[in-house]
């Protein structure tokens, strides 16, 4: 016959086993839930990491493009500045050559041809002709022939040294002024000089490539 004490012991074992089962089930449920939460958190962090990387890559591309664009603009500015310097030097070189040319006999022949061409085509009988002091004597024979054949008269006035050489024409009232000076001729063709320079630089660039 089972005693009371034995019955109590059996009861405690049954109750303890039930509680242990419940506790283990609860632990299993909590562990599963923790695993699920951990997986969700890991997936969330992976998405955040990918988003951060994507943003960093996108920002890097933007910054890289900005650096490239600025470098290109800087190079373009430097090239334009260098081209302007080269064109200025080239123009000065042409002016220097012109200054040497006007001291030659070939220039005297050139001056006479140009005066014949332009002075004979004007309707005025009396005109002012601006010449360098050193060209007045050199062009004297030409002017005498012009006066003889055209019946025109020319009042000679000095031409400023800044014009290098050549001549200018005006009526006696100085209502107009026709400029055939060497400096003006060169400066009016500065665009063509610059164009030739650009072509030369372009060819040089193609060669260097």
Write out pLDDT tens, residues 194-203: 666 666 666 5
Residue 205 pLDDT exceeds 60: no
On whether the CB atoms of residues 192 and 164 are closer than 8 A, the answer is: no
pLDDT digits (tens, 9 = 90+) for 57-105: 888 888 888 888 888 888 888 877 877 787 788 788 888 888 999 999 8
Q: What predicted TM-score, i.e. pTM, was given to this entire model?
A: 0.58
**What pLDDT, on a 0 to 100 scale, did the predictor assign at position 155?**
93
Q: From its phi and psi, is residue 184 left (phi > 0), alpha (psi between -120 and 50) or beta?
A: alpha
Q: Give me the mean pLDDT over the 142-146 stretch.
A: 89
What b/e readout covers 83-119, taking b as 16+ CB neighbours within 10 angstroms? eeeebeebbeebeeebeeebeeeebbebbbeebeeeb
């Amino acid at each position: 016959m089972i005693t009371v004490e034995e019955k109590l012991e059996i009861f405690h074992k049954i109750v303890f086993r039930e509680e242990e089962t419940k506790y283990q089930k609860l632990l299993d449920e909590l562990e599963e839930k923790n695993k699920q939460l951990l997986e969700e958190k890991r997936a969330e962090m992976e998405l955040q990491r990918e988003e951060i990387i994507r943003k960093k890559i996108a920002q890097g591309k933007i910054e890289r493009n900005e650096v490239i664009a600025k470098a290109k603009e800087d190079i373009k500015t430097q090239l334009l500045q260098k081209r302007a310097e080269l064109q200025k030097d080239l123009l000065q070189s042409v002016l220097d050559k012109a200054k040497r040319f006007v001291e030659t006999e070939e220039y005297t022949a050139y001056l006479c041809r140009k005066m014949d061409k332009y002075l004979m085509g004007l309707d005025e009988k009396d005109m002012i002709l601006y010449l360098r002091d050193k060209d007045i004597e050199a062009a004297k024979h030409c002017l005498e022939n012009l006066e003889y054949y055209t019946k025109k008269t020319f009042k000679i006035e000095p031409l400023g040294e800044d014009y290098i050489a050549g001549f200018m024409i005006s009526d006696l009232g100085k209502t107009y002024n026709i400029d055939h000076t060497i400096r003006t001729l060169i400066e009016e063709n500065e665009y063509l000089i610059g164009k030739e320079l650009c072509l030369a630089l372009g060819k040089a660039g193609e060669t260097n490539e």
